[in-house]
Amino acid sequence: MLFNPAIETLPLPKLRKLQNERLRNLVNYVYDRVPFYRQQFDEVGLQPSQIKGIDDLPLLPFTNKQDLRNNYPFGLLAVPRAEISRIHCSSGTTGKPTVVGYTAGDIDIFSEVVARSLAAGGCKPGMMLQNGYGYGLFTGGLGLHYGAEKLGMTIVPVSGGMTERQLMLLQDFKPDVLCCTPSYAQTLAEELQKREIPLESLNLRYALLGAEPWTETIRQHVQNGLGLQATNIYGLSEIIGPGVSQEDVEEPGSGSYVWEDHFYPEIVDKDTGEVLPEGELGVLVLTTLTKRGMPLIRYRTNDITNLFYDQCGKRTHIKMGPIKGRADGMLIIRGVNLFYTQVEEVLQMFEHLTPHYQLIVSREGTMDEVEVHVEVSEKLLRALDLQHISIVELCRFPVLSELSATFGKRLKENTGLTMKVTLKVTGEIPRSEGGKLNRVVDNRQVYA
Ligand code: ADP
């Protein structure tokens, strides 16, 4: 369903015209109101009047996470603090959280893009949404909440975690839609199975999952485990929160629409900052075209993806591929670049390996090593009558050593890296308890 058909299907020339106007307003607005941007422009000798439209974006300097940290907490606000109606923070995954301020108008924009996202993800007015994103400073909870209200849904604001309560509400209230992180959706699916709660006792039809990278492997796991269709919702607090882009449930696996009338995307080379052509992988850079509280120009998200127009899609807006990972979260192992999502992708080929996995990185002398810990399916353990066996003994069984050897071989083919594989039994790998899950343990600094 399209929430705002007029804008979501706006012909490209009209969309460009709108973006050009909005960008011209934005550069004047920040030059007049934000000392950081005035200084940035002055340093490169740029007058706002030189920016005629989005084709001129490369003339503008980037904004980085460090710029937000340097101006912590309110230095980048473009309005007096009293005009800010809400404050959020990033989760602080990569360091000190960054602060964002929203005017009442910005909250309207946030609700609009989340409503569009929910509609693209299958939601309709009157459906019930169980919102398992954390409420509080994190943008997920309140972001989805206001968007769902705008769409006209019934919202259950349960927040993240409290698995027993989530399961109870899923059975008693019978919501149509679930929102949470993909790793927490895995937890819920697993806990349902453990308690032998039949899917027929729930009424879930759709899930909008985001806030961390995930692949088709987890999509299959969650869809089967919860009996629904799962789509990807992407966003970051610095830009607005969730609802920067969203997959359409009827266009699965073909990328997420970026609501580019509000957030103009570019892909740049990680090292040179040069804008890359359509389709190429690089760092996603976003410019907030309409926000007033804390607008950002060419914000380097650090997230690695690509952009492309989908001629078969039902909207005109550009699409982005799934996030491979963060540029600063990319592992460099013996000179080879590795995102943990590459390991996750390979797992899909193995019926008897579960998407409960973790990468342990260490340094032996001068050599970096990656060990992949992955849980074997209970089905296989049951078939081998090995449910209660300890991990030390696991590798003694030929079926399992063969499984780990084949997995290692596929990993090598797909990533170019030799990784040690350690099979684990159910429950040995950490699970999400409600929020983002850390799938990489990097012990290299211990040796550094
Ligand atoms: P933090 O950067 O501290 O985690 P946020 O809570 O604002 O702060 O999270 C935004 C980040 O989460 C994004 O920059 C991106 O790295 C990740 N993220 C959000 N949604 C997705 C998604 N659908 N797929 C992959 N990564 C995502």
Contact partners, residue 196, CB within 8 Å, separation at least 6: none
Mean pLDDT across 326-353: 96
pLDDT tens column, 81-95: 999 999 999 988 777
Residue 119: CA count within 13 A, CB half-sphere:
21
- Residue 343 pLDDT level (bands cut at 50, 70, 90): very high
Contact partners, residue 366, CB within 8 Å, separation at least 6: none
The radius of gyration of the chain from alpha carbons, rounded to an integer in Å, stands at: 23
Determine whether 422 is exposed, middle or buried from the number of CB atoms within 10 Å of its CB (0-12, 13-18, 19+). middle
Quote the pLDDT of residue 313: 96
Quote the pLDDT of residue 362: 96
- Residue 77 pLDDT level (bands cut at 50, 70, 90): very high
Quote the pLDDT of residue 366: 85
pLDDT tens column, 363-392: 988 899 999 999 999 999 888 877 666 665
pLDDT tens column, 222-267: 999 999 999 999 999 999 999 999 999 999 999 999 999 999 999 9
Q: Where are the domains of the chain?
A: 1-326, 331-447
Q: Could you name the CATH architecture of 331-447? A: 2-Layer Sandwich (3.30)
Quote the pLDDT of residue 396: 74
pLDDT tens column, 291-324: 999 999 999 999 999 999 999 999 999 999 999 9
Q: Which CATH superfamily is domain 1-326 in?
A: ANL, N-terminal domain (3.40.50.12780)
- Is the entire prediction scored with pTM above 0.95? yes
Quote the pLDDT of residue 393: 64
pLDDT tens column, 158-191: 999 999 999 999 999 999 999 999 999 999 999 9
Ligand 1 pocket list (CB less than 6 A): 90-94, 138, 210-213, 232-237, 301, 303, 323, 326
| Distance of CA 209 from the midpoint of ligand 1 (Å) | 11
pLDDT above 90 covers a percentage of the chain that reads 90
Quote the pLDDT of residue 390: 63
| Distance of CA 93 from the midpoint of ligand 1 (Å) | 9
Quote the pLDDT of residue 448: 42
Q: Which residues pair with 288 in a beta bridge?
A: 263
Nearest to 280 by CA among 256, 304, 258: 304
pLDDT tens column, 405-416: 999 999 999 999
**Helical packing angle, 104-120 and 139-151, nearest 10°:** 70
Quote the pLDDT of residue 98: 93
139 Rama class: left (phi>0) / alpha (psi -120 to 50) / beta: alpha
Token readout for 11 is 């012909």
Identify the residue whose C-alpha is closest to ligand 1 atom 10: 236
| Distance of CA 396 from the midpoint of ligand 1 (Å) | 40
- Residue 397 pLDDT level (bands cut at 50, 70, 90): confident
